[in-house]
A and B are shown apart, each in its own frame.
Chain A
Amino acid sequence: MLTLSLILIPLIAGVITLITKNNSAKQLALIGAAIELVLAVVIYSQFQPTAAQQFGFSYPWIQSAGISFAGGIDGISILLVMLTAFLTPLIILSTFRQPYKNASTFYALILFMQAALMGVFTAADAFLFYLFFEAALIPVYFLAAVWGGEDRIKVTFKFFVYTIFGSLFMLVALVYLYYQTTSAQGHTSEISAFYKLALDAQKQGWIFWAFFIAFAIKMPVFPFHTWQPDTYTESPTPATMLLAGIMLKMGVYGVIRFVLPIVPLGLQTWGTTAIVLSVIGIVYGSIIAIQQRDMKRLIAYSSFAHVGLMSAGVFSQTLSGVQGALIQMLAHGINVVGLFFIIEIIFSRTKTRNIEQLGGITQRTPHLTVYFMILMLGSVALPLTNGFVGEFLLLRGVYESNIWLGAIAGTTIILGAVYMLRLFQKSMFGAKSTFTEHFADLSFSERAVLVPLVIMVFWMGLYPNSFLKLTEPAVSNLLQMIHY
């Protein structure tokens, strides 16, 4: 019941927001998201770190096709559920100073998106997962395409077609797997039933690619990333935060949930290829990030590089790789949302995102400087920050699976420092420019967004075990299934 409420609360709050007047929309949306967060905290406090699924619900839905409306939370879902519940209110709060036209629709779409994401992370039925996976796309498409920048129509359209294209392959794979299952009532689409299938290596290879294309586009992994930097740049910042902070995790989550346990033999054959592509993405994304002038674009490419590491870690099929990916999803979500928010703050005051035109912001803004620095260092993976834990585990995972690839992936530490420190230096230090002459420090509502993020950066960095222990039993159980 608790899990079902996770999906229903944002849905209901979204409908209420949609039908109310524009001027009270943001408060209502924030209240909805806050209730959701409380619920998530309740779930977190009651969650038992075992491999088993908890807070499950199951209702018959499309019985003739064996599809049920079933979900629950296990050690793999929990962090992502928490991440979604934690970030959404902050994303809504981050828009408080910014007037958006048609606010009721705008906030309703954010809440619908949250509902769909919760559905993705808790679904226990493959088709339910697919439905939510697609449904999450529609609100974010409209958010980006209606409220976005100048080139928004072309860019978001490309993104939409791209991701649907991938998802359709996943649909084919799911339908195929569905027909391989047998149960008392015919076929079933429970994910756990898919785990029991033992297909031959060739079939697994095909299914691996169908899944891989779907999830690689979503993450994105090289060479499926071309939609990403443009979309991140053109979308309004709240949509970018949703995209980078939560939505790209759907891809990584999908790999952990579907690819690892269902097609282990396919992974044996093609896993290294997938890691190679991911590692190319890391290096390539980092190098392009170094050359960016637009701050939003820079973070977009850095996000591409980071997710490449997560994907490499997952495909390495090692405990530390998968664990690292899960913890890094959380850390990256927090950091990237914070960084995009800081960029939005700078942009709203200077009307420029070009780092060449900025400089000298530190002189007037002690608060902004400190928060920006912490988030930046978290993103660079400095020890004692959240980024370090994930990156360390991920690199260890990739290294365990292939030394050379591990070494190349390791360059992310250096390259990441290069582009992030360059961003910080060019925008915050140096001489003031005409754009940054009158730069006000953070307002209360802006601090209200950044403080929780910074707390999380340190909590995860200093005491990662409080998160790792939640996922450990489920992940080792998953990996045992692969290496039978």
Chain B
Amino acid sequence: MLPIILLSILGLLVLFLGFQKSKNLLLPATLLVLVLTLIANFANWNDAPSLYFKGMLFENKLTMAFSGIVLLSALLIAALTRGFIDDEAAQPAEYYAIMLFSLVGAIMMIGYENLLMLFVGVEILSVSMYVLTGSDKRNLRSNEAALKYLLMGSFATGIMLFGMALLYGSTGSFNLAALKSYVLTNPSPSPMLYVGLLMLLIGMLFKVSAAPFHFWTPDVYDGAPTVFTAFMSTIVKTAGFAALYRLLSGSFSGVYTFWWSTLAGITVLTLLAGNITAVYQNSFKRMMAYSSISHAGYLLLSLTALSSQSQDAIVFYSLAYSLATISAFGVLMIVGKETGVRSHEVSENFNVFNGLGKKNPLLAFVLTVSMLSLAGIPLTAGFWGKFFVFSSVVERGLTWILVVAVLMSAVGIYYYFKAVIAAYMREGEAGSIKVPQFYRLVLIATTIITLFFGLLPDLLKGLV
């Protein structure tokens, strides 16, 4: 549980650093904190699974892998935030501190052993996200998004809490292990348990933006500053799916027959809603929002199937998705800024990528690899992510959902390639784009890792 402690204490230090008016130290300090936490996270890799804080938190290889993905994503995204220091209206110390604190929430969601801990984690992460979404104070869209996120998010939290209460009412415990043994020893649990489970699921599915609880996603993703959109779409999603996986595979695998059909319906709905709506977007950022919904669908597919493959599939998919998403948003940030227009409608449209292949071949390549990976084309990590998810589904024998997923993957190629087409085949304005050294490093890193796991997925797959 070292990461939680480190992040809490060092996060405070970063916050205090902001009082010293030494803005330039903030980013290095944050990155240092994240690197330290990342190392600390894997320090206990070979230890036996163990419980912490009186059995409230759990740690094993799976939770460490998920925390690792979250921390790595945060590290890469934080490295893309140099713009804060130049922006007069920004409050970088607060942003960095909130980002670090939000990771505490994410890690709690990943490692909870008690539903209360899950609730605390979700709230820490969500409240941080509400704040960060509205951090661009002068932008009306950002304000609106923050308010929308806050209102709907609170509502979802309420439902989730009610669900937990009902679960407590029917089983007498918040503990995952206790829930599991209750489910296993009571072949016909009370309807209260089912209702509780459903309400808990609704709350969680809201957080990972699964349909039909996804309506906030495009507006919030669109309104938030791009850096925080990247943060949201990777870290919240990974933590959310880790939590869902532990809940469903751990405590409630005994009532699989009850929840799988609900989840199957939601999966199909999510796949359809995400992919089909994404086709009609003119804004790259909104497209990415819908694409994040669709990826929630693929991850849900693996949960619905819940087979021996699911765990590996979810871990791998989360990593592949996070890396590609960070690449894509990173390129959008650089290119969007270059257009020099403050209007979001212009700087976030697909057209900003026009002629990127000529203006900056590196950025165009990074964008292409990330789009290929999101679309699931071979030799990228995203392909293997889809492959493992599909494998888990085939193992369970849910072929009809798989057919829907396959059709939707083909639809996905359509909208992801809009960006590639803009970059290579459309004529843009002349001129070249300079990429700051630091950004370049991040983008090269995400691209190399994406291609590396595209060639050698086994290195990651066998680990957990």
Contact = CB atoms under 8 A, between A and B. Distances in A.
Interface in A126-173: 130-131, 134-135, 138, 142, 145-146, 152-153, 157, 160-161, 164-165, 168-169, 171-172
Contacts of A178: 391, 394
B367 to A, nearest CB: 14
B406 A172 contact: yes
Contacts of A183: none
A64 B424 contact: no
A145 B417 CA distance: 12
Contacts of B344: none
Given A145-B424, A175-B391, A161 B410 contact: yes
A134 B394 contact: no
A65 B461 contact: yes
B414 A153 contact: no
A157 B461 contact: no
Given A65-B391, A157-B421, A135 B379 contact: yes
Interface of B: 312, 372, 377-379, 387, 390-391, 394-395, 399, 402-403, 406-407, 409-410, 413-414, 417, 421, 424-426, 456-458, 461-462
A64 B378 contact: no
A135 B457 contact: no
Given A161-B413, A172-B403, A146 B425 contact: yes
A153 B395 contact: no
Contact of B425 (A145, A160, A169, A179): A145
A172 B391 contact: no
A171 B387 contact: yes
A157 B378 contact: no
A160 B462 CA distance: 33
Contacts of A157: 414, 417, 421
A61 B458 CA distance: 8
Contacts of B406: 168-169, 171-172
A157 B424 CA distance: 13
Interface residues of A, number: 28
Contacts of B462: 63-64
Given A64-B461, A135-B378, A160-B417, A171 B390 contact: yes
B424 A146 contact: yes
A67 B112 CA distance: 35
Given A65-B461, A152-B425, A164 B413 contact: yes
Nearest to A137: B377
Contacts of B413: 160-161, 164
A331 B461 CA distance: 45
Nearest to A153: B425
Given A64-B458, A131-B378, A138-B377, A172 B390 contact: yes
A interface SS class: helix
28 contacts: A61-B456, A62-B461, A64-B458, A65-B461, A130-B378, A131-B378, A135-B379, A138-B372, A142-B424, A145-B421, A145-B425, A146-B425, A152-B425, A153-B421, A157-B414, A157-B417, A157-B421, A160-B413, A161-B410, A161-B413, A164-B377, A168-B406, A169-B406, A171-B390, A176-B394, A176-B399, A178-B394, A179-B391
Query: Closest 8 A-B residue pairs measured CB to CB?
Result: A165-B410, A62-B458, A134-B378, A168-B406, A131-B378, A175-B394, A64-B462, A64-B461
Contacts, number: 73
Contact of A168 (B394, B410, B414): B410
A152 B387 CA distance: 31
Nearest to B312: A64
Given A65-B461, A176-B394, A179-B394, 8 more contacts: A64-B458, A65-B391, A160-B417, A161-B414, A172-B390, A175-B394, A176-B399, A178-B394
A214 to B, nearest CB: 11
Most-contacted residue by chain B among A62, A138, A178 (CB, 10 A) = A62
Contacts of A135: 378-379
A169 B390 CA distance: 11
Contacts of A152: 425
B394 A62 contact: no
Nearest to A60: B458
A145 B410 CA distance: 19
Nearest to A133: B378
Most-contacted residue by chain B among A138, A161, A169, A175 (CB, 10 A) = A175
A169 B399 CA distance: 11
A258 to B, nearest CB: 17
A211 B462 CA distance: 30
B312 to A, nearest CB: 8
B394 to A, nearest CB: 5
A24 B403 CA distance: 47
A135 B413 CA distance: 15
A168 B298 CA distance: 15
Contacts of B417: 157, 160-161
Contacts of B394: 172, 175-176, 178-179
Given A145-B425, A175-B390, A179-B394, A131 B379 contact: yes
Contacts of B410: 161, 164-165, 168
Interface string A44-72: 00000000000000000111110000000
Interface in A380-438: none
Contacts of A175: 387, 390-391, 394
B275 to A, nearest CB: 13
Nearest to B457: A62
A483 B457 CA distance: 39
